[in-house]
Chain A
Amino acid sequence: MHNELLSMKKHADQADFWSINIFEDEHEEIMVRLGIPKAINTSFDRGALILMQKDGAIGYYSTQDLSDDGIALACKEALKWALQFKKYSLLNGSNISFAAHHGNYLGPGTKFSAQGATNEKFSLLKRCDEILKSSQYAIDSESSLWSINIKSQFFNSLGSEIEQHLSKVVPNLSVTVSHRGITQIRTLGGNYCLQGDFATIKGLDLEKKAGEIIKDAVDLVSAANCPTDFMDIVIDSDQMMLQIHESIGHPLELDRILGDERNYAGTSFVTLDMFGAYQYGSSLLNITFDPSIKEQFASYGFDDEGLLATKEFLIQDGILLRPLGGTISSARASMSAVANARFSSWNRPPIDRMANLNLEPGSSTFLEMIESIKYGIFLKSNSSWSIDDSRNKFQFGCEWGQIIRDGKLAEVVRNPNYRGISANFWRNLSMVGDKSTFKVMGTPFCGKGEPNQCIQVGHASPVCKFVNVDVFGGE
């Protein structure tokens, strides 16, 4: 039996319920900028989050001291929090049904031998960087690879024993091009945040992508500013990722709906009475919480409260069905839970987060979408994001725009932005791309929570078409 579990059994006996999350993560960051390799940065951290529930109230204690003494202190202090402030407790912990599971989850790429040699990684990044800075107009370039290795264990007083091991990769390419007073940045975006190892990276053909990125950037500096008009838009998967994240994912987080985030990340235009009936989008809109795509960035077997992760429809045929609420939130709202209670590390308690939140493919080809538009724009790769605290009024900017004229892709335009209101926007979803346009993506940076937490999320989406959207350019 694990030492930490033995310590918990020894020291947590005064609690009505207890749990311990042991979280270990190892990072490596390698970068080449303007042809020069940067010093390699690595990190290693290991700690535990201990939850003690007593008389319905819950207290937490986070520590890097996993010795028997350290866990004894953590149990004592977490219990003290629960008892000291139970008079103010928002939760009635006695009404929360925590899960009991035994499980072992191993993500793709977790075998150490496949991590790849440092010099091989540097060599790939140098080749990419050479391509990125190959234009005479390139004034800055960066090629980087961030590798993350996570091992976690979860035990609770109901007998849960869960072990998970994940390996993640975050490649990035970025170039800044400047010509005749116009400066543009083109990046790989969040396209290839995946679970896997260096073999996954090698399979992405980053050199080819570096070539596409520098070509795009050079085209952009000689392109006209994006026109201002209401028009039909086709959004590529890598911008759909942001659109889903900000205007579906966040508003469906149950802790926001219950008011926990009103001081920081915000509330939601969605209210509890909308579930089961509200028309969130057109009938083409199908949104899933999907931990089953193993290579997707936030796939896992169990969430950080020990709940088994399964695929769930949150929106089906445009109708809002259920929120993103973990064990605790769903008990507060008397709803069924989704396994999305997650923390950023051992030093923060779990809260409702997105994990993989995907838009299911439809039946239109990319060509059919373009051909259906007389005058519109094709948008790729997010560059700017802003949305109100109820997750309704949004404005997003993209790195790349291309006018669609008479059913054909025409000239490139720079600084494309669009804005709208979530509650209306998704009802204007008029075509959803088929599987050939579906991409699996993610981002390492989703901020929320008090104390603040930055977490990794995954999004997969096909290309989509929306009608009558307010589009405009830069100054």
Chain B
Amino acid sequence: MRDYFYELVKSTFSLIRSSEKFTIWFFAEDMEYSRFNKTKIRQAGSVKQRYLTLSLIEGQKHSEVTLGLSGKIDKDKELIALSLKKVRDKILHSVDDPYLLINEAVQNSENISLNTLPDRAEIIDSLFEEANGLDLVGIYVGGPIYKGFANSFGQLNWFHKSSFVIDSSIYYERDQAIKQCYADTHFDRNVLNKKINEARLGLELFLKKAVTISPGEYRVYLSPSALHEIFSLLNWGGFSKKYLETKNSPLRPLYDQKKELAKKFSLTESISSGTGPNFQEQGFLKPETLPIIEQGKLINTLISPKTGKEYGISHNAAQNEESMTSLAMRAGELDMGEVLTHLKDGLYINNLWYLNYSDRQNGCITGLTRFFCFVVKNGVPTAPFKVMRFDDSFYNLFGKNLLAITKERELIIESHTYDERSTASFLLPGVIVENMRFTL
């Protein structure tokens, strides 16, 4: 695949006029998927997809086209040549872009992980054997992901990683289930066995009748998976310099130092511990780590090259959408094994669902509990509780009401597959929070 990409780049070089510059962003994958319901296969198949975004630059004018490629080199070279003519026509209708920033300092990189995944049959058979007798629903996806960058200054970057994700739930009944995610670059049946055995044990709690809890404020434990939902929402523009400047970020009050977060709360964009490429769409290399919130204070924001140019500041190689791709929350001091004791009386929340802002400018978020959530009394799980809606401020949850953070953190590899498989990841602990507000 790398040679195919380099061949396309070489061909593009030959088509470019002396007054023109270009960048190429290449993204491709070979995906195998198997979708389950009731421990049977609902849909299964393979996807081979290759895309290339060609950005053509003439002075300060530019335009870009994204092309689906056949994988046949001669045909794809022809398609690029044909598309180049159309892009030139679009440039004629363009005006100078005052925020265009081109990476002229060549920074080549190559990150290739050899494929150690077994045949799909080994993974799927193992999963079905381990889950025998259970109601398993979810998906297996696996295979290589490829990303590449090239520009007319001669820069070449290449990323190739094979990985898999088993994102599944084991159901007790109705909306009661244990949700788990097993994602890695190599498959270990022992890990799968351990996870499913844990789920079997967890299902026993559903033998107790689910209780309805009243709206009000509760002391809660939020697991790494629950925090993943909260930070996924916050990552939707929250750390973006552009969103902060245009007052569309829920962190604007923190930026203005009008609200504060707990000193024990710190967030970092940690590319070195993540699972994605270290280069972005314009070919700038990302820093290995970038602290964003340090001891409750917003000390950095994500700044793309375009935003940097717009606001006259240095960028930090953020992607165009200025969201974190390898978010890491600093660990605390609470031993994971002592969570129930420390929680004492409250709600243990494994999963949250469908979060959105109820008041974006003030950092207020709403969402629901899902899957495996239970009431804890005197440090002992007593019964699962029915779905509840919460509506609370991020500043309460991670500010004055944040009581404890676990020592252990979980690496959550984003399992989203909209258009392409995500390479984002989250390294998250669990937290104990008091007075979390539930409304319905």
Tell whether B440 is near chain A: CB-to-CB under 8 Å. Answer: yes
Q: A45 to B67, Cβ gap below 8 A?
A: yes
Contact residues, B131-162 vs A (CB, 8 A): 137-139, 141
Task: Report the Cα distance A419→B389, complex, angstroms.
Answer: 10
Known pairs A40-B64, A88-B128, A393-B389; list 5 more (Cβ under 8 Å): A36-B98, A264-B139, A386-B354, A397-B358, A415-B359
The minimal Cβ–Cβ distance linking B109 to chain A, given in whole angstroms, is 26
Task: Report the Cα distance A475→B394, complex, angstroms.
Answer: 12
Determine the residue in chain A with the shortest Cβ distance to B177: A262
Contact of B67 among A44, A185, A348 (CB under 8 A): A44
Contact of B248 among A66, A140, A395, A419 (CB under 8 A): A140
Tell whether A63 is near chain B: CB-to-CB under 8 Å. Answer: yes
Determine the residue in chain B with the shortest Cβ distance to A86: B41
Q: A183 to B361, Cβ gap below 8 A?
A: yes
Known contacts A78-B45, A387-B354, A388-B389; A178 and B177 CB within 8 A of each other: no
Q: A452 to B416, Cβ gap below 8 A?
A: yes
CB contacts (< 8 Å) of B389 on chain A: these are 386, 388, 393, 395, 419
Q: A64 to B48, Cβ gap below 8 A?
A: yes
Determine the residue in chain B with the shortest Cβ distance to A271: B174
Per-residue A-contact encoding for B186-212, CB less than 8 Å = 1, 0 else: 000000000000000000000000000
Tell whether A65 is near chain B: CB-to-CB under 8 Å. Answer: yes
The minimal Cβ–Cβ distance linking A18 to chain B, given in whole angstroms, is 13
Contact residues, A25-74 vs B (CB, 8 A): 36-47, 58-67, 70
Stretch binding the partner chain, chosen from B68-76, B219-227, B321-329: B68-76
Q: A61 to B167, Cβ gap below 8 A?
A: no
Q: B72 to A67, Cβ gap below 8 A?
A: yes
Tell whether B93 is near chain A: CB-to-CB under 8 Å. Answer: yes
CB contacts (< 8 Å) of A90 on chain B: these are 36-38, 40-42
Tell whether A417 is near chain B: CB-to-CB under 8 Å. Answer: yes
Tell whether B168 is near chain A: CB-to-CB under 8 Å. Answer: yes
The minimal Cβ–Cβ distance linking A226 to chain B, given in whole angstroms, is 10
The minimal Cβ–Cβ distance linking A26 to chain B, given in whole angstroms, is 10
Contact of A349 among B45, B71, B366 (CB under 8 A): B45
Stretch binding the partner chain, chosen from B6-14, B27-35, B262-270: B27-35
Q: A85 to B41, Cβ gap below 8 A?
A: yes
Q: B63 to A39, Cβ gap below 8 A?
A: yes
Tell whether A263 is near chain B: CB-to-CB under 8 Å. Answer: yes
Q: B70 to A67, Cβ gap below 8 A?
A: yes
Q: B94 to A39, Cβ gap below 8 A?
A: yes
Tell whether B393 is near chain A: CB-to-CB under 8 Å. Answer: yes
Tell whether B362 is near chain A: CB-to-CB under 8 Å. Answer: yes
Contact residues, A7-37 vs B (CB, 8 A): 36-37
CB contacts (< 8 Å) of A259 on chain B: these are 37-38, 137, 171
Q: List 7 A-B contacts (CB under 8 A).
A: A44-B66, A62-B48, A64-B69, A263-B168, A384-B358, A450-B35, A451-B417
CB contacts (< 8 Å) of A385 on chain B: these are 356
Q: B439 to A45, Cβ gap below 8 A?
A: no
Tell whether A146 is near chain B: CB-to-CB under 8 Å. Answer: no
Task: Report the Cα distance A263→B178, complex, angstroms.
Answer: 10
Q: B94 to A40, Cβ gap below 8 A?
A: yes
Q: B359 to A475, Cβ gap below 8 A?
A: yes
Contact of A62 among B47, B72, B247 (CB under 8 A): B47
CB contacts (< 8 Å) of A63 on chain B: these are 48
Contact of A65 among B71, B90, B94, B179 (CB under 8 A): B71
Per-residue A-contact encoding for B342-372, CB less than 8 Å = 1, 0 else: 0000000000011111111110101110100
The minimal Cβ–Cβ distance linking A94 to chain B, given in whole angstroms, is 16
Task: Report the Cα distance A468→B95, complex, angstroms.
Answer: 53
Tell whether A312 is near chain B: CB-to-CB under 8 Å. Answer: no
CB contacts (< 8 Å) of A475 on chain B: these are 359, 362, 364, 393
Tell whether A119 is near chain B: CB-to-CB under 8 Å. Answer: yes
Q: A474 to B359, Cβ gap below 8 A?
A: yes
Tell whether B62 is near chain A: CB-to-CB under 8 Å. Answer: yes
Tell whether A197 is near chain B: CB-to-CB under 8 Å. Answer: no
Q: B137 to A263, Cβ gap below 8 A?
A: yes
Determine the residue in chain A with the shortest Cβ distance to B361: A183
Tell whether A327 is near chain B: CB-to-CB under 8 Å. Answer: no
Tell whether A275 is near chain B: CB-to-CB under 8 Å. Answer: no
Contact residues, A368-402 vs B (CB, 8 A): 383-390, 392-393, 395, 397
CB contacts (< 8 Å) of A58 on chain B: these are 43-44
Tell whether B83 is near chain A: CB-to-CB under 8 Å. Answer: yes
Tell whether B97 is near chain A: CB-to-CB under 8 Å. Answer: yes
Q: B46 to A450, Cβ gap below 8 A?
A: no
Tell whether B102 is near chain A: CB-to-CB under 8 Å. Answer: no
Tell whether A176 is near chain B: CB-to-CB under 8 Å. Answer: yes
Tell whether A283 is near chain B: CB-to-CB under 8 Å. Answer: no
Tell whether A454 is near chain B: CB-to-CB under 8 Å. Answer: yes
Known contacts A40-B90, A60-B45, A65-B72; A386 and B35 CB within 8 A of each other: no
Task: Report the Cα distance A259→B39, complex, angstroms.
Answer: 11
Q: B43 to A349, Cβ gap below 8 A?
A: yes
CB contacts (< 8 Å) of A106 on chain B: these are none
Known contacts A39-B62, A60-B45; A386 and B355 CB within 8 A of each other: yes
The minimal Cβ–Cβ distance linking B201 to chain A, given in whole angstroms, is 20
Q: A89 to B387, Cβ gap below 8 A?
A: no
Per-residue B-contact encoding for A233-265, CB less than 8 Å = 1, 0 else: 000000000000000000000000011101110
Tell whether A334 is near chain B: CB-to-CB under 8 Å. Answer: no
Task: Report the Cα distance A273→B24, complex, angstroms.
Answer: 54
Tell whether A410 is near chain B: CB-to-CB under 8 Å. Answer: no
Q: B44 to A42, Cβ gap below 8 A?
A: no
Interface centre among B34, B68, B70, B393 (most CB of A within 10 A): B68
Q: A390 to B67, Cβ gap below 8 A?
A: no
Tell whether A122 is near chain B: CB-to-CB under 8 Å. Answer: yes
Q: A393 to B45, Cβ gap below 8 A?
A: no
Q: A85 to B70, Cβ gap below 8 A?
A: no
CB contacts (< 8 Å) of B71 on chain A: these are 64-65, 70
Known contacts A389-B354, A395-B389; A139 and B46 CB within 8 A of each other: no
CB contacts (< 8 Å) of B98 on chain A: these are 36
CB contacts (< 8 Å) of B86 on chain A: these are 42
CB contacts (< 8 Å) of A39 on chain B: these are 55, 61-64, 94, 97, 100
Tell whether A364 is near chain B: CB-to-CB under 8 Å. Answer: no
Task: Report the Cα distance A143→B195, complex, angstroms.
Answer: 49
Tell whether A195 is near chain B: CB-to-CB under 8 Å. Answer: no
Tell whether B335 is near chain A: CB-to-CB under 8 Å. Answer: no
Task: Report the Cα distance A42→B38, complex, angstroms.
Answer: 42
CB contacts (< 8 Å) of A349 on chain B: these are 43, 45
Task: Report the Cα distance A260→B43, complex, angstroms.
Answer: 10
Q: A37 to B95, Cβ gap below 8 A?
A: yes
CB contacts (< 8 Å) of A262 on chain B: these are 37, 137, 169, 171, 177
Q: B65 to A43, Cβ gap below 8 A?
A: yes
CB contacts (< 8 Å) of B94 on chain A: these are 37, 39-40
Task: Report the Cα distance A114→B50, complex, angstroms.
Answer: 31
Task: Report the Cα distance A454→B418, complex, angstroms.
Answer: 7
Interface centre among B36, B43, B71 (most CB of A within 10 A): B43
Q: A140 to B124, Cβ gap below 8 A?
A: no
